[in-house]
Chains A and B, each alone.
Chain A
Amino acid sequence: MKMFRKHVGSISRISTQLQRGPPTVGSIAGLSTEAEAAPKQERVDEKITEFRTAITNPGGHSPLQIAKFYTIPAEEKKRIFGGGGLPKQYELQIKTFTEACLMVRSPALELLQYIKQADLSKPVVRYVLYGENGVGKSLTMAHVLHYGALHDFLLVHVPWAPNWMKRPKETANATGQEGFIDLPFDAAAWLVHFKTQNAQLLQKLQLKTSKDYVWSKRESTPTGSLLTELVEHGIARIKYASETIAAVISELKQLSTAGQCKVMVAIDGFNAFFHPETRIFSDNKQRVTPDRITLTQPFLNITNYDWTNGVCILSVDKIAMTEGYMESYMPRYLLGKDGFEHLDPFVPVHVDNYTDKEFTNYISYYVDRFWITKTAPDLEDQLKFMSNKNPYTLMQLVRGL
C-alpha cells in the first residue's frame, strides 16, 4: 500500500520528476523562490492590467479577452490539475510565479464556443487539437478542462496517454482477457485522478451503476451502488483497477446517454493509442501493441460516437510517437489509418504559435513577474526572432539558469 501511494502521487507527463506528489499552491506561497521574494498580497490586488483579465471563469471568456491572462484559483487548480494536466515546465513556472495563469487563446475560445453551442442530444463530437511541438495544445486543453469542471461536466481526463505505453509503472498479464496486458498502478492512479477531479459532482449527482460487477468470488459491486463506490473499489483493489476503468467508462456512457450527467473527455496524446508499438514487453519478450493493453479499450470506447450528452477533446502530438513516426504533426499522419477511421468525422482544431499581440503580452507578463527585465531595448525583438513566437521555445529561452 505504501508503494502504491508513492506511485499514485502523480500521473503527470514526467512522472519520475514528480515522485514527491503534486505541488499544492498553499505550500508554494511558503516556498520563497529565487527572486520572487516580493509579498504575495500586493500582486493579487493589482491583477487588472492591460494583459490580464479578471474573468476567472472560462465560460465568460470571449474574443475580447484574447491574448489576456486569467488566473485559475488555487483550489480549482489543485482539484483539476492535481494529478497532471499541465506540462511539467509550465507547472514549474506556475510554482515560480506563485499563480496559475493561462492565456486566453483563440483555439481554446473556438472550442469553448463549439461546446457552448453544441446540441448535446446529438452523438458526441470529437475535437482534435493538433499543431507543432510546444504551441500550447495541452494548455488549450487545460483551459477547456477548466471550463468543463466549472460547468458540471464529469471529467474523463488522461493527462498524457503515452505514459502508459512508454513508461508504465508495472505490467501484469490481464486476468480477464487472454493475451492482454494490465497496467494496474497506472489504472489505479487514473482512478484517483478521476475521483479528485469529480468528487464534488459525483457527490451531487449520486450516479448509480446499472449492472452487477463480479470481481471475484467474494468481491462484487451490485446493481444500484454508487459510481463512487465502484471507483473506490478499483483504487483499493489495484488488481481490478483496469477492469474498473472499463466498467466506470461504460457506466458513464450509459448515464450520459440517459441524460443523467454530462461528460467531458479530454485525452492528451491520444495518438499513442494507435502507435504501432509500445515499450511494454509481453511474456515471450515481444513488444506489445497498444490494442493489447487493457487500458486502451475503455478510452477508445468513450471516444466513439455512439453516446450523447458529452464532448471529446483529444490532442494528437508528435512527441506521443517514437522515433521514425514523427515526420508530421498532421492528425491523419499521427493517428494512422485506424485512428482516423475511429475518430472520423472529427473537428480538427489547429493550435499555432503566438500572434504578435500574444507574444507582446507574454513578454509583459514575464516583465511583470520580474522574470525578465527589459534592459536591452530590443530584447523583445530578439526573443521573437529566437523563439519564432513558439510558446515553448520562448519559455525555454527565458528560463532560469
Chain B
Amino acid sequence: MSANLTRWLERSLHNCHATQSRTALRLFSGQQQQQQQQQQEVEEDEEFRVLNLRAVKKQVAARREIKRDPVPPPRSNRMAVDQDWTAAWPGPRSFHPASVPLPLRQGYTERGAAAPSKFANAELMKIPNFLHLTPPAIRQQCEAIKQFCTPWPKGLETEEKCKHHFPVEVVTTDFCHSLPTIRNPEARRVTVSLKLSELKFDAHAKDKFLRLVGERYNQETDVLTIVADRCPMRKQNYDYALYLLTACYHESFITEPWEETKSEADMEVYHFERNKAKLSAEAILNWNEAAGETKVAPSQGYAKSVEQLINEGENEYNIAKYKKEVLKMLNIPVAN
C-alpha cells in the first residue's frame, strides 16, 4: 500500500498539485501524513555543501606606499673643524656614525680586506666609548664645579698625613637604580678598617685583642676590618662597628682571674723565658756554682735563636744560627 502511495505522490508532485494531494492524504489517515513530512526533510538535506579546495582569491587591496624622506648626508660632513665637540656629544651615548667625524673602522672581515666602516657597524656600537670624556670636556666640567669647592685642609697634603690623622677608614656603598624605591639593602653595610699599629697595646692586651677579633685581623697587612650589617640602617651599623672596636680595645686590657691558668700548651708562640730551654741552659752555665753566687743567665742571642728556630720553623739558616749560638754559649772553640 505504501508503495502505491509513494508512486502516487511522485506523480502529484510532478503535477505541482502538492497541496491538493496533501489535503487528500490528511483525509486518508493521520499516520500517513507524518510519514510524508519526514520524507520531505530528507530530500532537502540531500543537497550537499560544496567543498571548494581552490580558495577564491579576494581582491588584494593595493599597498599604501610609505613615503620616506630621503636619507640626509651624515651630519659629520657638515661639522666645522673647530666646532665645540662637548656640545656635539655632551653625555655618554652609544656610538653613532653620522655624529662622529672620525673615519673609524672596526670588525672582522676576510683576510686582506679592510675592516667594515663605521656605518651600520654593530661592533662599534657594542663597545663603550669615552667620546663624552675628552680632556676639554673634563676641563670644562671641572671649571664648572670649582665654585662649589672648598680649599683642601692644611696639614693633610700627603696620603701618609691623612692616614696618620684619620686612621679609621669607613667604607659604605650607595646604590643608584631606576627603581620605584631608592633603598637598597646592601647600602646599610659599613666596613670599618684600621691599622693595628695605630692602637697602643701591651703584650697581654695585644694577645687578648687578637684573640677577641679573631679572623678580622689580617696578619700580613696588620689591618683590622670590622664589617657591620646586622642593623637595618647605615647609621646604626656604623655606631655598632665603632662600639665593637672600642669594646674590644678596652676589654683586652682587663685580665680575668682565669687567664692566669694559661699553660704552655695554650701559648701561641714559643717563649724562651717560659720553657725548659732556659732552665737547661742556666743549669749548664751555672754548673758547680755555689748556691749564693750570682747566676749566669743564658745569652740573649741564644734565647733569640731558640725562639726563632721554633717559631719560624726549621731551616738550614735557623739551625746554623742555633748551632753558632750554642757553641758560643757552651764555649766550644770553632774551627775556621
Q: Do A and B bind each other?
A: yes
Given A117-B333, A119-B331, A308-B287: A341 in contact with B277 (beta carbons within 8 A): yes
Residues of B within 8 A of A (CB): 275-277, 280-281, 283-284, 287-288, 302, 306, 309-310, 314-316, 319, 322-323, 326-327, 329-333, 335
Contacts of A114 in B (CB 8 A): 332
Shortest Cβ-Cβ A-B pairs, 6 listed? A330-B314, A341-B276, A345-B326, A344-B277, A123-B284, A332-B314
A188 to chain B, nearest CB (A): 33
List 4 additional A-B contacts (Cβ < 8 Å) besides A113-B335, A344-B280. Answer: A123-B284, A123-B287, A125-B330, A345-B306
Kindly name the residue among A63, A118, A328, A332 whose own CB sees the greatest number of chain B CB atoms within 10 A. A332
Interface pair A125/B329, CB less than 8 Å apart: no
Closest CB in chain B relative to A158 CB, distance in Å: 22
- When the two chains form their complex, are residues B284 and A332 in contact, meaning their CB atoms are under 8 A apart? no
- The residues of B that contact A123 with a CB separation of less than 8 Å are 283-284, 287
Hey, which chain A residues are within 8 Å of B302, CB to CB?
345
CB contacts (< 8 Å) of A348 on chain B: these are 319, 322-323
Query: Which residues in B have their C-beta under 8 angstroms from that of A332?
Result: 309-310, 314
Task: Determine the chain B residues whose CB is within 8 A of the CB of A350 once the complex forms.
Answer: 316, 319
CA distance A348 to B320 in the complex (A): 8
Q: Does A213 contact B (CB under 8 A)?
A: no
A-B contact count (CB 8 A): 65
Q: Does A212 contact B (CB under 8 A)?
A: no
Q: Give the chain A neighbours of B277 by CB distance below 8 A.
A: 341, 344-345
Q: Which residue of B lies closest to A328 (CB)?
A: B314
Q: Return 13 A-B CB contacts under 8 Å, by A number.
A: A110-B335, A122-B284, A122-B287, A306-B283, A330-B314, A341-B276, A341-B280, A344-B280, A345-B281, A345-B284, A345-B306, A345-B326, A348-B323
Instruction: State the main secondary structure of chain B at its contact with A.
Output: helix
A147 within 8 A of B: no
Contact A305 B280, beta carbon cutoff 8 Å: yes
When chains A and B are docked, how far (Å) is the Cα of A332 from the Cα of B335? 25
Smallest distance from the beta carbon of B271 to chain A beta carbons, Å? 13
Residue of A nearest to B326 (CB): A345
Interface residues, chain A, CB within 8 Å of chain B?
A: 63, 109-110, 113-114, 117-119, 121-123, 125, 305-306, 308, 328, 330-333, 340-341, 344-350
* Chain B: CB-nearest residue to A338: B276
How near does chain A come to B95, taking the closest CB pair, in angstroms? 61
A122-B287, A333-B314 known; A345 and B332 CB under 8 Å? Answer: no
Residue of A nearest to B333 (CB): A117
| B326 partner residues in chain A, CB cutoff 8 A | 345-347
Residues from chain A with Cβ under 8 Å of B283 in the complex = 123, 305-306
User: What is the CA–CA distance of A346 and B314 in the complex, to the nearest angstrom?
Assistant: 15
- Docked-complex contact A344 and B330, CB < 8 angstroms: no
Cross-chain contact of A117 among B284, B306, B309, B332 (Cβ < 8 A) = B332
A344 touches B287 (CB 8 A): no
B276: A residues at CB distance < 8 A? 341, 344
Known: A331-B319, A332-B309. A347 touches B280 (CB 8 A): no
Residue of B nearest to A125 (CB): B330
Partner pick for A305 among B284, B309, B319, B322, CB 8 A cutoff = B284
Task: Report the minimum CB–CB distance from A388 to chain B (whole Å).
Answer: 17
Cα distance, A49 to B35, chains bound together (Å): 148
With A305-B280, A350-B319 known to touch, is A341 a contact of B275 (CB < 8 Å)? yes
Smallest CB-CB separation from B316: which chain A residue? A350
Which residue from B287, B319, B323, B331 sits with its C-beta under 8 Å from A330? B319
Chain A residues closer than 8 Å to B288, beta-carbon distance:
121
- A347 and B330 form a contact (CB under 8 A): yes
Q: In angstroms, how far is the closest chain B Cβ from the Cβ of A337?
A: 9
C-alpha spacing A121/B310, complex, angstroms: 30
Q: Which residue of A lies closest to B283 (CB)?
A: A305
Cβ contacts under 8 Å, B275 to chain A: 341
Residues of B within 8 A of A305 (CB): 280, 283-284
In the complex, which residue of chain A has the Cβ closest to the Cβ of B281?
A345
Closest to A329 in B: B314
